[in-house]
Structure 1
Amino acid sequence: MFQSGARINISDGNSPERIVTVTGPTESIFMAFALMTRKLEEDMLGTLSGGALVNKPPVTLRLVVPASQCGSLIGKSGNKIKELRETTGATVQVAGDLLPNSTERAVTISGAPDAIVQCMRQICIVMLESPPKGATIPYRPKTTPSAPVIFAGGQAYTIQGNYAIPNPDLTKLHQLAMQHTPYTPMNQAASGFNTGADASNQISTHEISIPNDLIGSIIGKQGSKINEIRQMSGAQIKIGGPTEGSTDRQVTITGSPANISLAQYLINARLTSEVSGMASM
């Protein structure tokens, strides 16, 4: 990769996925991606059985892009992503869901190496014209199974055995949530918990309404999304059943102010992701 002049950084290898970060001048980045895609194609062909190939299989790259920039890649009514596909010949897909523990989404590009490089060039242009909005929580592949999360003193910790390990990514997400999703306690006494401790440790209950047609995006397949939100926020979350004559479902969130604010932030992120995906269809 020294031929490109770009700086290449590869994340730790103790997980199923690794993140390759490419930085430098625009042309250096394009050259680096050209070298990478051709190397990937060579390795892929080398693993196939012997004999002449009539058609080369496509190379696939998965980009990690801030969710706030994905709307620009999709374009109004999907016009921009359609243009990317038609002008470059590459297949482009923008994931509707946020990557775990982050505010980023996956953009998958598949095709011949030249098509991928041309597509990358167009995507870079769009991203330079539409910088990310707000703070970005970067995606980092998991290296260990999900662990319980607690919040104390404004910091997030994951529980591993008998130890509480500081988690800077969740701490940053928690701080962002506290800034952008303030909540109003609805029933302090409802929990039956009051030790006279600091307000940040008191248990409260908060309710929000979510349209019936969007509740599925919060629940996820077999409850995967709501369980992820519970795990990350540390809050208890209950989704009420449908009510006759109502187009909304009630969601009850119970926990400390930090837990509730983080749960609200994650729910809002899921809803924003779902609405953006629907708008691009």
Structure 2
Amino acid sequence: MEPIKVQSEGGLNVTLTIRLLMHGKEVGSIIGKKGETVKKMREESGARINISEGNCPERIVTITGPTDAIFKAFAMIAYKFEEDIINSMSNSPATSKPPVTLRLVVPASQCGSLIGKGGSKIKEMRESTGAQVQVAGDMLPNSTERAVTISGAPEAIIQCVKQICVVMLESPPKGATIPYRPKPASAPVIFSGGQAYTIQGQYAIPHPDQLSKLHQLAMQQTPFTPLGQTTPAFPAAGLDASNQTSSHELSIPNDLIGCIIGRQGTKINEIRQMSGAQIKIANAMEGSSERQITITGTPANISLAQYLINARFRDVAAMWNDPSSMTTS
């Protein structure tokens, strides 16, 4: 956070930096066609608005400037999101308008002041502004920051942001802050009927046409049958109508088990998370050249786990044959 500059008569005239966490769709709305929306926001508010780079499902939007410029920028963002909600409702039978939601990223050392003793400060903010405010209990991955979610009508959100800014100025962060940096989308690509999908949360989303040579090979070699639907987005869990749990065993050569587990278990954990299956790797048996892997879950979970394990082998094989086809192992 930048230093406080001056205090003007009766009000704050300080330079402040506020960070927001947004999904790709929200960022697209803020940027607008050819960057026109964000350009207008910068010009009309006087705030600096920067959007983090990278092919990430989440992006950080940093707003810097005097407090009045920050409040104008927040107002423009909140009203833009409300406009998006109204536009999306015109195609929907829903009658009640959902609230606008913004997520701030705040150093954990300042969250205690936002909550207040026994929750008194956060309660006061909720009651005086009418906005819902939630401070996440856990820090965001690999950082010392927490997400603070504000939802409500745009007017309530603007009042709430003003109060949060005052608290943050009165209680600067203690010690060094490790900022949250969203990770690039590294979800494995799944193929069905010639279409590529990536998993985001609970859904398989059509993947942009940026298929590497390896992905094309994977599509030719292993069509993935459980995702046989052609709808734009569908639940990744429960692809098979059957929810009965069963187990399947695989034998993996000892010298290849490392590429399935990954560094500090990152790859196997990714496969568990993506597939929804339980995956247990047996300890190495003396005299045996193979390790037993047991996959437990619904038929869809098991199929997806098997596919991801096979895809991992192909990734490694492709990297050995053509290192230029892979950027990471």
Secondary structure at the aligned position of 2:98 is classed as coil
Distance (Å, rounded) in 1 between the aligned partners of 2:63 and 2:69: 9
Q: How far has the Cα of 1:128 moved from its partner? A: 0.1
Q: 2:100 aligns with which of 29, 35, 59?
A: 59
Identity among equivalent positions (%) equals: 72
Q: Which of 173, 179, 198 is equivalent to 1:138?
A: 179
1:94 equivalent in structure 2: 135
Superposition map of 1:7-156 within 5 A: 7-50=48-91, 55-145=96-186
How far apart, CA to CA, are the structure 2 residues paired with 1:12 and 1:96? 27
What residue in structure 2 maps to residue 273 of structure 1? none
Aligned-pair CA distance for 1:144: 4.5
- How far the C-alpha of 1:43 sits from its partner, in A, is 1.2
Q: Deviations over 1:235-257 (max 9, x none)?
A: xxxxxxxxxxxxxxxxxxxxxxx
Q: CA deviation at 1:70?
A: 0.1
In the TM superposition, what is the alpha-carbon distance from 1:56 to its structure 2 partner?
Answer: 2.5
CA deviations on 1:18-65 (whole Å, 9 max, x unpaired) are 111000000000000000000011012112234897543200000000
Query: How many Å apart are 1:12 and its aligned residue?
Result: 1.5
Residue 180 of structure 2 aligns to a residue in which SS? coil
Gaps of at least 5 residues in structure 1 are 147-229, 233-281
Report the AA paired with residue 68 of structure 2: E
TM-score calculated relative to the size of structure 2: 0.43
Q: How far apart, in 2, do the equivalents of 1:77 and 1:51 lie?
A: 41
Q: How far did 1:231 drift? A: 7.3
| CA distance in 2 between partners of 1:23 and 1:73 (Å) | 20
- Give 1 or 2 for the bigger CA radius of gyration: 2
Q: C-alpha distance in 1, partners of 2:160/2:171? A: 17
> For residues 12 and 231 of structure 1, what CA distance do their matches in structure 2 show?
28
Normalising by structure 1, we get a TM-score of 0.50
Give the equivalent residue in structure 1 for 2:36: none
Q: Any idea what SS the aligned residue of 1:31 has?
A: helix
Distance 1:51 1:65, change over 3 A: closer
Change (3 A) 1:101 1:29: same
Q: Distance in 2 between matches of 1:39 and 1:102?
A: 29
Gaps in structure 2 of 5+ consecutive residues: 1-40, 188-263, 267-329
The 5 A counterparts of 1:230-245 are none
Equivalences for residues 190-205 of structure 1 within 5 A: none
Q: Provide, for residues 58-110 of structure 1, a one-character-per-residue CA deviation record: whole Å limited to 9, x for no partner.
A: 00000000000000000000000000000000000000000001000000000
Taking a change above 3 Å as real, the CA distance of residues 51 and 93 of structure 1, as seen in their structure-2 partners, is: closer
Instruction: Assess, with a 3 A threshold, how the Cα gap between structure 1 residues 13 and 42 changes in structure 2: closer, same or farther.
Output: farther
- Aligned equivalents of 1:132 and 1:72: distance in 2? 10
* Bigger Cα displacement from structure 2, 10-19 vs 137-146: 137-146
SS of residue in 1 equivalent to 2:58: coil
Q: Is the 8 A contact 2:99 2:152 kept in 1?
A: yes
| TM-aligned CA distance change 1:52 to 1:35, over 3 Å | farther
CA distance in 2, matches of 1:53, 1:115: 22
Q: Distance in 1 between matches of 2:98 and 2:172?
A: 34
